[in-house]
Amino acid sequence: MAKQNNKAAARKLRSSYFTTTISITLVLFLLGMIGLLMLNASKLSTYVKENLGLTVMLQDEARDAEVKKIEKSLQASPRVKSVTYLNKEQAAEKLMSELGEDFIGFLGYNPLLSSIDVKLHAQYATPEGMEEIEKMVKAFPEVKEVHYQKDMVYLIHENVKKISLVLLALSALMLLVAITLINNTVRLMVYSKRFIIRTMQLVGATNGFIRRPFIGSSIIQGIIGALIANALIAGVIYVSARELSGVVSFSNIYVVIFLFAMVFAVGIMLTLISTTVSVNRYLNVRTADLYI
């Protein structure tokens, strides 16, 4: 009879340990996925902003020396990422390639103007930043006009801010959920062993001696949960990089390693803190309250 009871207790212990580890793994995996989403949302935002640019149309009679002066002025600006000059002939070749027709032969002349394409750094690709660059280049008499999609720049800027706030709020919520779930899971595990804690106290064990096996077990669970969660995240990264290579990017290995390290650290810290708090609670509880 005693043997059967021991086997049943061992099965319950293994089941509790397995359930706790799986719960920790799932929570850490969800946190990691939010981290991945935030990393790629930031990259996608930067990519979109840095591909928003201005096209500076030059006067037909602008000389090469004057064009070079405008280019150097733009390149000297800390706001500008790149400057690309396109003369009339290059503009015509590009348009003919896109249209698939020789419009110059049809018209008898090249109606296009030389231009300078200006791309800004992401932090300056705002409606205000675009307006400042527009004012700067319009000061040159060789500039005929400046083109850029003002409405699109404004919409992208506003939507990026909204998405960033939503992701930040979602991350905070997920962290709160993670703390709550892991804390409740660990508390249930410690609760199931509350009589063992009291027995150890009755035979004279110190508080530090009682805490040690619980904390050691929780750290191991946190490590196992983090390793499994990181393996799942690595699988998601692999599939995403292969199937969505044009949309998401994980080329910066150091950022991915940092994400894995954060998942690892959160797994250990949350289980360690939750276990310490839960064990301390039962170290100080009255015997009558153990039955509640």
Q: Residue 220 pLDDT > 80, yes or no?
A: yes
Q: Residue 262 pLDDT > 80, yes or no?
A: yes
Domain, as residue range, for 272: 2-47+156-291
Q: pLDDT at position 27, please?
A: 81
Give the pLDDT mean for 169-173: 78
Please write down the HEC assignment for all residues of the chain: CHHHHHHHHHHHHHHHHHHHHHHHHHHHHHHHHHHHHHHHHHHHHHHHHHCCEEEEEECCCCCHHHHHHHHHHHHCCCCEEEEEEECHHHHHHHHHHHHCCCHHHHHCCCCCCCEEEEEECHHHCCHHHHHHHHHHHHCCCCEEEEECCHHHHHHHHHHHHHHHHHHHHHHHHHHHHHHHHHHHHHHHHHHCCHHHHHHHHHCCCCHHHHHHHHHHHHHHHHHHHHHHHHHHHHHHHHHHHHHCCCCCCCCCHHHHHHHHHHHHHHHHHHHHHHHHHHHHHHHCCCHHHHHC
Q: pLDDT at position 6, please?
A: 46
Angle at 62 between CA 57 and CA 66, to 5 degrees: 100
Q: Which residue has the higher pLDDT, 138 or 47?
A: 138
Show which of 128, 148, 168 is a domain's final residue: 148
Assign residue 115 the CATH number of its domain. Answer: 3.30.70.3040
Confidence of residue 216 (pLDDT cuts 50, 70, 90): confident
Quick one: 228 and 91 in the same domain?
no
pLDDT in tens, 6-24: 455 445 556 666 777 787 8
User: Domain tally for the chain?
Assistant: 2
Quick one: 128 and 236 in the same domain?
no
Show which of 104, 127, 148 is a domain's final residue: 148
In percent, how much of the chain has pLDDT > 70?
84
In percent, how much of the chain has pLDDT > 90?
1
Quick one: 90 and 232 in the same domain?
no
Q: pLDDT at position 227, please?
A: 92
* Cα 188 → chain centroid: 32
Q: Which residue in 181, 183, 176 sits closest to 274, CA to CA?
A: 183
pLDDT in tens, 92-148: 777 777 777 766 666 766 777 788 888 888 888 888 888 888 888 888 888 888 888
Quick one: 189 and 68 in the same domain?
no
Question: What are the beta bridge partners of residue 243?
Answer: none
Give the pLDDT mean for 271-292: 76
Quick one: 137 and 170 in the same domain?
no
Quick one: 34 and 142 in the same domain?
no
Mean pLDDT taken over the chain:
78
Quick one: 76 and 184 in the same domain?
no
Quick one: 98 and 20 in the same domain?
no
Quick one: 184 and 254 in the same domain?
yes
CA distance 143 to 6: 88
Q: Which residue has the higher pLDDT, 70 or 170?
A: 70
Quick one: 184 and 250 in the same domain?
yes
Q: Residue 168 pLDDT > 80, yes or no?
A: no
